[in-house]
Amino acid sequence: MALTREEREKFLAEPHIAALAVDAGAGRAPLTVPIWYQYEPGGDAWIMTGLDSRKNELIKAAGRFSLMVDRLEPTIRYVSVEGPVVETATATEEQLREMAARYLPAEKVEGYVAFASADHGDQVVVRMRPERWVSSDLGTV
């Protein structure tokens, strides 16, 4: 059964690992990779990626991307959302810390931030405005 708007937004706001998909050009399947993301109901979804990454180059070219998140328990549920890029900006350490805190235990956040700041190179935040949604809860299947 399809989720209501409130249910799908609440589910997307949970800290799932998303599958990001973006058009990879003529003759290629979409690039699909796991990624951390951030979302608050009613707002834009955002990801952080390397300035010079293939993801960022493909997203710039396509002007849009999709995210899909799912779970298996207590019921099989998924939400897929796609939309246009509304902003790309240089990532800040505060955004890196926010993203890390969403996915990591509190005691690991600062260590990860220090590592990522030193190791990952220049990062950007790409914001996507959710435009089309597909969702379902398959009950106790």
Three-state DSSP class for residue 21? strand
* Residue 85 scores a pLDDT above 80: yes
pLDDT of residue 139: 84
- 20-69 confidence digits (pLDDT tens): 999 999 999 999 999 999 999 999 999 999 999 999 999 999 999 999 99
Q: What share of the chain is helix, strand, coil (3-state, %, to 5)?
A: 30, 35, 35
Which is more confident, 1 or 63?
Answer: 63
Looking at the chain, the whole-number percentage of residues with pLDDT higher than 90 is 96
pLDDT of residue 130: 98
* Residue 141 scores a pLDDT above 60: no
Compute the average pLDDT of residues 97-122: 96
Mean of pLDDT over the chain? 96
**71/121 Cα distance (integer angstroms):** 32
44: CB partners within 8 A, 6+ apart:
86, 87, 127, 128, 129, 130
pLDDT of residue 76: 93
pLDDT of residue 126: 98
- 132 pairs with which residues across the strands? 82
